[in-house]
Structure 1
Amino acid sequence: MKRWNILQADEKEVSALQEALKINRNLCKVLVQRGIKTFEDAKNFFRPQLSHLHNPWLMKGMQKAVDRIQLAFTQQEKILVFGDYDVDGTTAVACMYRFLKSLYPEVGFYIPHRHKEGYGISKKGIDYAKEHNYTLVVALDCGIKSVELIDYANTLGIDFIICDHHLPDEKIPNAVAVLNPKQKDCNYPYKELCGCGVGFKLICALCQQLQLPTAKAYEYLDLVATAIAADIVPITGENRVLAFFGLQKANENPNAGIKALATLSQAKMPLRISDLVFLIAPRVNAAGRMDDATKAVQLFIASSYEEALEYARLLHTDNNTRKESDLNITTEALQLIAQNEDWVHRKSTVVYQPHWHKGVVGIVASRLIEHHYRPTVVLTENGNYATGSARSVPGFNLYEAIHACREYLISYGGHYAAAGLTLEKHHIDAFRDKFEEVVTATITEDLLIPEILIDAIVELKEISDKFYNILQQMEPFGPENMTPVFLARGVQDFGHSRIVKEKHLRLVVRQDNATFVGIGFNMADKFPIVQSGQPFDIVFKVDENEWNGQKNLQLRVEDIKPYEN
């Protein structure tokens, strides 16, 4: 069973917005919940403009960064573009590398190896820069916590510009320039940019300083949108504008790498933000998970579609290997939990096998939460140690729970929802018990039940082509602007509902005079409620089904419960 949480909105604000927009009241309720309360707010939301992007010079450190890059040009220094191995990092490196390379020949790039070097700026990367005579490094999507490593680079005469979006510690690295809107004294108005977004702002500032057309920076918007989608940052404010125009670019004139991945993953055009999240991003991430993410950058900087397709095939293969690996490990982990009767009743999960692939343990932790809804740690062997990833359930501070178990850990890091950790293998059992003790003491019972957030209660007769058209204009969807979820109460089976492919539910429901077809994936277990002859409540999203060239609105059903009067 899931918890249904119906969101509320100030009725006066809803009425005022409905008066201004003259659209369905429930859609106005959704907008008010998302901070859109006036005609002007709605105009900016529904009609994003590139002119809404903030001035890049408002970001602390921007002038220093631009000046240092210009100095490198005039002194003919070698510039190394350095970035993380995930989608945000590799797209950021590709944008910056292509931009700098279009102006100046002495540019290279470097992506640390996930398993040999770990996350962020690495000593090996700095040594590589020294060995190859790079005197300026532009670090993207990492570096804000690399205080000692930047000090080390300074002793070698290597300057760093850091473009990061992760939360800084008290001490900021001693780099030539640090660009991060989350710095305490940074006046940049929008704080939720991804790493690629911060790099993009540096490109915009360089365009202005070098008197290049702004359109030159906009060439990279499809890569920026891919990073925004993959990095699960809020799709609000500036991110919404970047994602909106980035999607437009991905559909009209895409980067060869995005086009090649879209072709291989058989994406339906036009691409939507969900395609970037579920089709493009996993293939890019798979490179770093299974092997070396350098080829993800090579994909995005390829000079022709044919070259991009070669790299896309490599990523596609990595992703198939990753899928197979994560399916096998998930199956093994579920068997382990089932075999240990005590674990089944715990409020946390900690599993370990030495042969599991360390590139997929984070994904496996998320998969296990789908089956056993509780904070989860998946560990594997790494040399003499056990290392792994942890994932949380919404509302529970995972980092704090792991911090409370630090007596058994060699190292750990992360945030509210996800973390990484390393420990001695002989401490695994002690850590498992301590983690369970901490979770049991701090988690509330309701957090152990999955929650569905419902935007509004609607009547089926409200759902029309016009209603759906406005929903579509609310895209791109993502954190803080999720696809709206609705609840219809007391609907009845129209007599044609059935189970499809043994696990899905095809519904035909009626409420008053309105009839809709719905599909509930993996919801065959709800069929008895539908068949009972009694009214029931459904939670759903509205989408479109295309069949034989005909498009019809349908309900994408998320949950079903017996009707409560």
Structure 2
Amino acid sequence: MRWTLKPKPNPETVKQLQEALNVDQAIAKLLVQRGITNFEDAKTFFRPNLNQLHDPYLMKDMDKAVARIEAAIKAGENIMVYGDYDVDGTTSVALMSSYLKTKTPNIATYIPDRYDEGYGISYKGIDFAEDNGFTLIVALDCGIKAIDKIAYAEKKGIDFIICDHHRPGSQVPNAVAVLDPKQSDCNYPYKELCGCGVGFKLIQALAETSDETIQDLIPYLDLVATAIGADIVPITGENRVLAYFGLQVVNQNPRAGFKAIINQLKKETLTITDVVFTIAPRINAAGRMKHGQYAVDLLTQMDLDTAITYAAEIEEFNSDRRETDKIITVEALEQIKQNKEEDRLTSVVYQEDWHKGVIGIVASRLIETYYRPTLVFTKSGDKLAASARSVTGFDVYNALEACSEHIEQFGGHMYAAGLTLKEENYEAFKQAFEDQVSKTIDRQLLTPEIKIDSQLELGDITDKFWRIISQFAPFGPGNMSPVFMTENLKDTGYGKCVGEDDKHIRFTATQSGPEKFVCIGFNLGDRLHLIKNRQLFKAVYSVDENHWNGNVSLQLKIRDIKE
């Protein structure tokens, strides 16, 4: 691991903030690093308020989208709510359909089949809309590149409203309205909304025309917070406000579908991390292993007993998903070894029978072993389909764009993308991708980096210090949980490996003062020798609460240890 200490903030700014807030210097430093330099900034940060949300009509085409939906409701038209099969897509569909059903009964949902139709808007979906008398489709978390599909729908007399957050191409579809803050001519002040976030802005605009307030929309924010966490968008600005209030809904008054999942987890208070690692994989498992409509049915279900039945079904899909991705990861690692590709700068693997629903997860798993841009391919109809994942700091979307002569179709973000290509182009693409990455990647990005907010003494870690930094939450990209480094640590002598195969390490750390902290380091069992015999070491960690047998104490979650 590369340890990178973030630059020290301006001492004068830190001093002024410290005095304005009456906090320790260590807290003031952390805040200034996050761009918080005065009392007002701090108030906005520590006390998120729904009034901080932007006017939805600042988004390009919002007036057109609202006018078309209102006209459809007035005329009694059938409206289809269409979304992708991942968490962002299914939460978006649940959000939009459940809101529109409060205005008109003529609402149906449509999630494309991952295997039969693939990602995004499909011809089959448009044909289904025509056959069933739908004249308006609201597409969420997809559609920004569906130029031909929207033209096809237009010929059939079907209008589209697109709510997307992916990067547009050089041309946008000729839809009634295209809501996407990443359009170069959209002046919406916050560009990092997820698909469900864009959908929420649309219902916020619709609510204004019905004399509803933002308070009336709070029950929908559990869906938005889940999408924000799962889609790994920055938890800054508007996303932070939406996630903050969404988590309150998850914990205090969740919809029946979430309650049914939470009942299985036996956890009292969920953080955004819990949502990402426990709720989101279960919602995702429906589209991965069976069909995304199962997730929408769960998330829109009003009756708790029915929701519990649905959640049990989805839990089975999730167990299957875990087993499948474990098997494929082993096979993919073996393929890299057999092909003697350990020293390449990319991992590109393919097997025709790999389950399309888990190749994205497998790509992320491969990065845990070979830290480099990764693509996992499988057969999909008469083409090959892949999920791409990247390493911090490297834009895989741009790398794929440079290889587009070998690709049929692709889309995505800086760190995650999907693509299809013809089987005969696979080897040429694989080499082109390796060449492109070799040409453009900074070699140090191939070693995982830990960004350290600041150096601390153990004596700095008090209950008050913890109370304040825990209020920095919700954490995520752009507002990560603070990471600290402390030198001259010693183990009290009882450090040991714990867990299956002694994978983890547990010890009690002291420094020069009386303070002692229990430390847990996941997957750091191989570092035990660095703390043996009371030798001095340094560690990088985050501070956390440990709940055990009714007792609550502070502990250090160790990220890495060095001599």
DSSP-derived class of the 1:117 partner:
coil
Aligned-pair distance for 1:416?
2.4
Q: Which residue of structure 2 aligns with residue 467 of structure 1?
A: 465
C-alpha distance in 1, partners of 2:327/2:110?
A: 32
Amino acid at match of 1:557: I
Q: CA 1:532–1:444 in structure 2 vs 1: closer, same or farther (change >3 Å)? A: farther
- The answer to whether 1:360 aligns with 2:358 is yes
Aligned-pair distance for 1:396?
2.0
Matches of residues 474-485 of structure 1 in structure 2 within 5 Å?
A: 474-485=472-483
Q: Which residue of structure 2 aligns with residue 492 of structure 1?
A: 490
Q: Extract structure 1 runs of 4+ deviating beyond 6 A.
A: none
C-alpha distance in 2, partners of 1:403/1:61?
A: 28
TM-score in terms of structure 2 length: 0.96
Q: Which residue of structure 2 aligns with residue 508 of structure 1?
A: 508
Matches of residues 177-326 of structure 1 in structure 2 within 5 Å?
A: 177-264=177-264, 266-326=265-325
C-alpha distance in 2, partners of 1:172/1:289?
A: 29
What number of residue pairs does the alignment pair up? Answer: 559
C-alpha distance in 2, partners of 1:424/1:121?
A: 20
Aligned-pair distance for 1:521?
0.9
C-alpha distance in 1, partners of 2:58/2:403?
A: 41
Q: Which residue of structure 2 aligns with residue 542 of structure 1?
A: 543
Q: Is the 8 Å Cα contact of residues 167 and 413 (structure 2) preserved in structure 1?
A: no
C-alpha distance in 2, partners of 1:182/1:217?
A: 24
Amino acid at match of 1:530: I
Q: Which residue of structure 2 aligns with residue 78 of structure 1?
A: 78
**Deviation digits for residues 157-178 of structure 1 (CA, Å, limit 9, x no counterpart):** 1111111112222322222222
DSSP-derived class of the 1:320 partner:
helix
Amino acid at match of 1:232: I
- The answer to whether 1:395 aligns with 2:393 is yes
Amino acid at match of 1:312: A
Aligned-pair distance for 1:223?
0.9
Gaps of 5+ in 1: none
DSSP-derived class of the 2:469 partner:
helix
Q: Which residue of structure 2 aligns with residue 338 of structure 1?
A: 337
Aligned-pair distance for 1:104?
1.1
C-alpha distance in 2, partners of 1:256/1:16?
A: 47
Q: CA 1:229–1:71 in structure 2 vs 1: closer, same or farther (change >3 Å)? A: same
Q: Is the 8 Å Cα contact of residues 282 and 319 (structure 1) preserved in structure 2?
A: yes
Aligned-pair distance for 1:46?
0.4
Amino acid at match of 2:437: V
C-alpha distance in 2, partners of 1:292/1:530?
A: 49
Amino acid at match of 1:550: N
**Deviation digits for residues 279-326 of structure 1 (CA, Å, limit 9, x no counterpart):** 000111111111210111111111201111122122111111111000
C-alpha distance in 2, partners of 1:499/1:111?
A: 46
Aligned-pair distance for 1:532?
4.7
Matches of residues 27-42 of structure 1 in structure 2 within 5 Å?
A: 27-42=27-42
Q: CA 1:434–1:200 in structure 2 vs 1: closer, same or farther (change >3 Å)? A: closer
Aligned-pair distance for 1:542?
0.3
Q: Is the 8 Å Cα contact of residues 294 and 310 (structure 2) preserved in structure 1?
A: yes
C-alpha distance in 2, partners of 1:522/1:212?
A: 50
Amino acid at match of 2:498: V
Aligned-pair distance for 1:338?
2.5
C-alpha distance in 2, partners of 1:206/1:440?
A: 49
Q: Is the 8 Å Cα contact of residues 163 and 198 (structure 1) preserved in structure 2?
A: yes
**Deviation digits for residues 315-350 of structure 1 (CA, Å, limit 9, x no counterpart):** 11111111100000011112222333x312222222
502-511 or 379-388, larger mean C-alpha shift: 379-388
**Deviation digits for residues 22-47 of structure 1 (CA, Å, limit 9, x no counterpart):** 21212222211111111100001101
**Deviation digits for residues 58-102 of structure 1 (CA, Å, limit 9, x no counterpart):** 222222222211111221111111111111111111111111112
Q: Which residue of structure 2 aligns with residue 528 of structure 1?
A: 529
Q: CA 1:178–1:426 in structure 2 vs 1: closer, same or farther (change >3 Å)? A: closer
Q: CA 1:338–1:46 in structure 2 vs 1: closer, same or farther (change >3 Å)? A: same
Q: Is the 8 Å Cα contact of residues 50 and 214 (structure 2) preserved in structure 1?
A: no
Q: CA 1:344–1:532 in structure 2 vs 1: closer, same or farther (change >3 Å)? A: farther
Q: Which residue of structure 1 aligns with residue 172 of structure 2?
A: 172
TM-score in terms of structure 1 length: 0.96
Q: Which residue of structure 2 aligns with residue 409 of structure 1?
A: 407
Aligned-pair distance for 1:213?
4.3
**Deviation digits for residues 230-269 of structure 1 (CA, Å, limit 9, x no counterpart):** 11111111111111111111111111111111122x1411
Q: Is the 8 Å Cα contact of residues 144 and 172 (structure 2) preserved in structure 1?
A: yes
**Deviation digits for residues 113-136 of structure 1 (CA, Å, limit 9, x no counterpart):** 112111111111111111111111
401-410 or 511-520, larger mean C-alpha shift: 401-410
Q: Which residue of structure 2 aligns with residue 383 of structure 1?
A: 381
Aligned-pair distance for 1:407?
4.3
C-alpha distance in 2, partners of 1:81/1:46?
A: 36
Amino acid at match of 2:93: V
Amino acid at match of 1:307: T
CA RMSD of aligned residues (A): 1.6
Aligned-pair distance for 1:144?
1.7
311-320 or 342-351, larger mean C-alpha shift: 342-351
C-alpha distance in 2, partners of 1:115/1:537?
A: 49
**Deviation digits for residues 327-375 of structure 1 (CA, Å, limit 9, x no counterpart):** 00011112222333x3122222222222211111111111011011112
Q: Is the 8 Å Cα contact of residues 267 and 275 (structure 1) preserved in structure 2?
A: no
Q: Is the 8 Å Cα contact of residues 166 and 412 (structure 2) preserved in structure 1?
A: no
C-alpha distance in 1, partners of 2:509/2:63?
A: 60
Q: Is the 8 Å Cα contact of residues 267 and 279 (structure 1) preserved in structure 2?
A: no
**Deviation digits for residues 1-22 of structure 1 (CA, Å, limit 9, x no counterpart):** x100111122222222112112
Aligned-pair distance for 1:421?
2.8
Aligned-pair distance for 1:527?
0.8
Aligned-pair distance for 1:450?
0.7
Q: Is the 8 Å Cα contact of residues 166 and 413 (structure 2) preserved in structure 1?
A: no
C-alpha distance in 2, partners of 1:560/1:333?
A: 30
Q: Which residue of structure 2 aligns with residue 327 of structure 1?
A: 326
